[in-house]
Structure 1
Amino acid sequence: MIDIINEIARARREVSDGAEVKTIVVRRRYDAALEEVWDACTDAERIGRWFLPISGDLRLGGHFQLEGNAGGEILHCEPPHALKVTWVMGDAPGLSEVEVRLTAEDGDATLFELRHTAQVPPEMWSHYGPGAVGIGWDLTVLGLGLHLAGGTISDPDAWQHSDEARRFMAASGQAWGEAFQAAGVPPEQVATVVENTIAFYIPQPSEEE
């Protein structure tokens, strides 16, 4: 059983609502040494245990592919502090980059920061807002935290459809709504995009079901 409220509260979220380029940031402190977090984020075998199977040339300038998800090019690598990649889903055009920065903290802990910058179609942003990708990154941050703590979700596919996962995604959607409002977006617009995003991740059962 995951302490959903605690997991959501342990992360801090920011949104930059630029005219053409949007940026979301999620930060979380892990009770693990800097080198341990870096290894978990860059070793192919370990990535497959908490995120998704990954293939490709995992070196500066190389290309990677996450199974059933994004792929891209490794733009910058500064062990054990910084990693920057392009983040492309299929043939989607425009800028999309993900940067991870790690900072050692007192008590053998590490501050993890993930920044996703992208050109987002206006109609998608106005309908879903930052939660469209933010919920996915919250799930990623959760998976990394469980891995670093020595735990795991035994059946991720089944868990995605569990009541626990639905509660987590709903809480994540609300948290990204709060970050969106803090960026200066009117509350009425925030409420609409949060509702749309949560409905996308957690569709209501049809009457036939």
Structure 2
Amino acid sequence: MDIVDEINAIHRTVGRAETPAGEARTVLLRRSYDTSVDDLWDAVTNPERLPRWFLPVSGDLTLGGRYQLEGNAGGEIIRCEPPRLLRLTWVFGEPVEGGFSEVEVRLSPGDGTERAVLELEHVAVIDPERWTEYGPGAVGVGWDLALLGLGLYLGGGAIADPNAWGESREAREFMTLSSNAWGAATVAGGDHPDAVATMVANTTQFYAPDPPAGPNAL
């Protein structure tokens, strides 16, 4: 894959929003795919297709039902309007009293009859210290990886061994560029460049740490 093209295929925005739990941070991703809105909706909601590009999911996958992604977040389906809008609560680990974290996926037609646009917005109340340390890249890089997987899947390909790929030079390049891209979006959103540089460095080190030295280093 062309890593730079994959990074540039995603538009990123960082902002703020008011929620019942107080002021939240928002990350918004937008990417178009060579498929129809109906097929894209099925790819992001069908429990048989989700594991092919994201994660296995279990639970009551209906409005008001609870879901759980294997080894990841879970929550409640609070809006479902096929084939255009899906909103979920998004809780990783134990719920935080008074916390707020929601993900909304919006689909719309793109340019051409077989083109669809996906917007994913994650709104969450974030601990200020955690934001200062990592910024939006803490979740943004993960979402970039998900949209990359979706694009490969819809294009007829896939990463054969995601765990092995995650340790590869290609993966580290993707995650490093993703972290940098979220840094640029954060500066555009009003954060000071010096503070953002710290966020980007910490996020990059978390997702793409320096490989071990030695003859077998990647």
Q: Same fold (TM over 0.5)?
A: yes
Q: 2 CA distance for matches of 1:195 and 1:7?
A: 21
1:29 to 28, 32, 55: 32
Distance change (3 Å), C-alpha of 1:48 and 1:109: same
- Say whether 1:73 aligns with 2:76: yes
2:115 to 106, 109, 117: 109
Aligned to 1:194: 200
Aligned ranges 1:55-204 → 2 under 5 Å: 55-93=58-96, 94-107=99-112, 108-204=114-210
Cα deviation, residue 31, structure 1: 1.1
1:138-197: CA deviation from partner (whole Å, max 9, x where unpaired):
000001111111110010111111110000000000000000000011111111110111
Q: What amino acid is the match of 2:104?
A: E
- Identity of aligned pairs, percent? 55
Aligned to 1:52: 55
What number of residue pairs does the alignment pair up?
Answer: 208
Cα deviation, residue 106, structure 1: 2.7
TM-score (norm 1): 0.96
Query: Aligned with 2:145: secondary structure?
Result: helix
TM-score (norm 2): 0.92
**After the TM superposition, which segments of 4 or more aligned residues of structure 1 sit over 4 Å from their partners?**
205-209
1:27-50: CA deviation from partner (whole Å, max 9, x where unpaired):
001111110100000000100110
Q: 1 CA distance for matches of 2:107 and 2:23?
A: 28
Q: 1 CA distance for matches of 2:8 and 2:212?
A: 32
Query: Aligned with 2:48: secondary structure?
Result: helix
Q: 2 CA distance for matches of 1:32 and 1:205?
A: 37
Note the residue ranges of structure 2 that are not aligned, 5 or more in a row. Answer: none
